[in-house]
Amino acid sequence: MGSRIAAHLANAGIPVLLLDVVVAGQADRSSAARKGIETALKQRPIAFFSEGVKSLVKPGNFEDHLAEIADCDWVVEAVTENLEIKRDLWARVDLVRKPDALLSTNTSGIPLARIAAGFPAAFRKRFLGTHFFNPPRYLHLVEIIPGQDTDKGLLRWLSDFCEARLGKGVVVCKDTPNFIANRIGSFYGSTVYKLTIEGEYSIEEVDALTGQLIGVPKSASYRLLDVVGLDVWAFVARNLYEMVLDDPWRDRFLPPEFANEMMRRGWIGEKAGQGFYKRVGPQKEIHAIDWKTLEYHLASKVRIPAVDAARQVENMPQRLRMLADDTGRAGSLLWPLFRDVMLYSAERVPEIADRVVEVDRAMRWGYGHSYGPFELWDALGFTAVCDRIEGEGGSLPEHVVRMREKGATSFYKAGDHGGIAQTEYFDLHNTHYKLLEQRPGVYALSDVKRARGVVRSNAGASLIDLGDGVLCCEFHSKMNALGEDACAMVHAGLEELEKNFAAMVVANQGENFSAGANLLLLLLSAQEGEWEEIDLSVRRFQQMNMALKYAARPVVAAPFSRVLGGGAEVVMHCSRAQASAETYMGLVEVGVGLIPAGGGCKELLARLGNPQRIFELVGMAKVSGSAMEAQSMGLLHKSDRITMNPERLIGDAKAVALSLISTHAPSAPRTDIAVGGDATFAGMKLAAWTMREGGYISDYDFHIAQKLANILSGGRRLDGGFASEQELLDLEREAFLSLCGELKTQDRIAHMLKTGSALRN
């Protein structure tokens, strides 16, 4: 864990000294720390934004390099969860640290008061907990736990630093066992165990019911335990059982016997090669365990009618209500799971947190749930849930009863005022609603639209007034695929920009910025031979991107997560990009038998001037592993900026747009893009031929590669020279249209739509 925390600090541009134990018999006394760095680079998911970032992490060991801590501003301890080991190390650190250094432990279960007991006041003033969730690069939550003597100014500074610089969602916790997220998360997992046994559900059934279907990551329940490690999960649960003596639910934290037997056999998950699942044979078939017999079998496809019906409902609250009301196999697991987690969470306030807000944020940010327990209660219907619990003979926590007596009908409600989006939450202690504090720089587009309405909208996109003269063009189609609706709204946005606004941001807050073109509509048009319609659609997309590039006022894109194909081309044509650190960007059209046709090849030629490099980048459908890597690939400009905290992305993009207003001066389309001509075409064709002869690509891949080479060589003009942007756009469109008419391209598109994977025909 220490190496992964170090990697994420390095991702933020912070030099790190990583100390670990000296391994007996190793010539390199810092081999443990060095191995940790290499593991963080090679493991999946990778901990570093790029390989070059690891140079910011300097390896060392506790025996030879502890004195170097004197140069460090922040000391993070992440050694094994053993009180005496931690206290011994901190005693040594206290002798060499800077007087004003920040001191924190990454403990997940040991009370801070026990770690800091007996240390001098100057130490306790600088000491607190910083519980990063693993892997720290990807999980948004960091729980910050102040001790009784922690300086409050230090607490505020660290909270701001973790949020803005490290990109974290900060939840300040009380010093209670396992804090907030692991207290509720452990109860959630233990309840899944209980319901599995009571309902005799298979491992596959439980994971089908408790994953993306209900707004939880696809690792669901048992797959998550394999990733975390059954031994780690059991340690956390047992720690809770031993420390929460007054918790009436504490017996639930004890692992069931089948889990204990799996641990005795060493079947603890991925790190052991098997757990609830394992891969078998040369085809790596996924087998699941039968918890009754502890024998493995080929993982089965789960078929539950209520699940199939629920998947057709895109509105998540509506879907959750549908599943909770089901009287069959789905509802028999999900309703008691929801009910118990909601009740347990309500009973833990104010024990583990004074407000429902921190509990919800901890579960969303630490476990990736779409809804925290109280948000889930609202989504299911606060009054309906209360009535159902009481109707089943259950009882509500006292403060929920008082909440109902006050006439409250939800834990959260809108508190918008004067066009400013605000939220009120119910304070369970004082039994009235309070205004939730604003978080400067954090935008939720749904809240902005609720408070201010929309400027204009259609089925695929909307225009939103962000205030301060900045317009936002938001995509909101399925997977944010780009079609006629998006093109129409971008053009409408550019018209509004010239009339009523000073700058525009292209942004959204879906799962991905954009998956590219609407492949289903394209396939249907190609199969019907609607070539003029396809040609017109491509022309409109090209014109839209050129309009973005040469807009009269600045346009800033805010890409995040998957930014593929046409989505990447939109970003590449904006005045500037403010990218989320987690941006996976690429021109991937060859995967469906096509060539980028929205100006992607043109832009890369203008930026990189290296056709061979672009040929590999586009021809191999390479996708960046981060925004930093996208910059090195040329998909983002070096001048484009990176946002660590995804919640701040739109706010940062807005700030950049405002900063560009005074200096923005649109130029004219370029006519001087260097192309290599026929000689460059021959070199790229030879490279593709070599790959085909080596069996790395198919004959059809070779055919597509020649189409790409034709564009990158400027149409194989004999003398090379220069091409205009429009000439290159015409070449892109010609190649795209010709490939749409090929049966093998249509087969690739159909396969992608059906399976989500590429077909190499």
Question: Per-residue pLDDT tens for 617-667?
Answer: 999 999 999 999 999 999 999 999 999 999 999 999 999 999 999 999 999
Confidence class for position 134, pLDDT limits 50, 70, 90: confident
Distance CA 544, CA 483 (A): 11
pLDDT at 44: 81
Question: Per-residue pLDDT tens for 299-329?
Answer: 999 999 999 999 999 999 999 999 999 999 9
Percent of the chain with pLDDT over 90: 94
Report whether pLDDT(719) > 80: no
Q: Is the pTM of this model over 0.75?
A: yes
Distance CA 317, CA 337 (A): 16
Lowest mean pLDDT of 393-397, 674-678, 703-707, 739-743, name the range.
674-678
Amino acid letter for position 576: R
Confidence class for position 713, pLDDT limits 50, 70, 90: very high
Distance CA 676, CA 672 (A): 13
* CB count in 10 Å sphere of residue 198: 11
Confidence class for position 482, pLDDT limits 50, 70, 90: very high
Nearest Cα to 388, choosing from 319, 340, 317?
340
Distance CA 551, CA 574 (A): 9
CB 352 within 8 A of CB 185: no
CB 619 within 8 A of CB 735: no
Report whether pLDDT(720) > 90: no
Report whether pLDDT(275) > 90: yes
Report whether pLDDT(197) > 80: yes
**Backbone φ and ψ of 20, nearest 5°:** -145, -175
pLDDT at 379: 98
Confidence class for position 418, pLDDT limits 50, 70, 90: confident
Report whether pLDDT(369) > 80: yes
Ordered by where they begin, the domains of the chain are 2-172 (3.40.50.720), 179-302 (1.10.1040.50), 306-438 (1.10.1040.10), 445-588+623-660 (3.90.226.10), 673-755 (no CATH)
Report whether pLDDT(446) > 80: yes
Residue reference for tokens 């993009």: 653
pLDDT at 443: 92
Distance CA 63, CA 83 (A): 20
Helices 677-693 & 699-712 angle (0-180, nearest 10): 160
Confidence class for position 63, pLDDT limits 50, 70, 90: very high
Helices 699-712 & 611-619 angle (0-180, nearest 10): 140
Report whether pLDDT(109) > 90: no
| Strand ranges inside 207-356, DSSP E | 277-280, 285-290, 295-298
Long-range contacts of 668-671 (CB under 8 A, 24+ apart): 668/550, 669/546, 669/550, 669/724, 669/725, 669/726, 670/606, 670/724, 670/725, 671/722, 671/723, 671/724, 671/725
Q: Calculate mean pLDDT across residues 169-198.
A: 96
Nearest Cα to 736, choosing from 576, 565, 586?
565
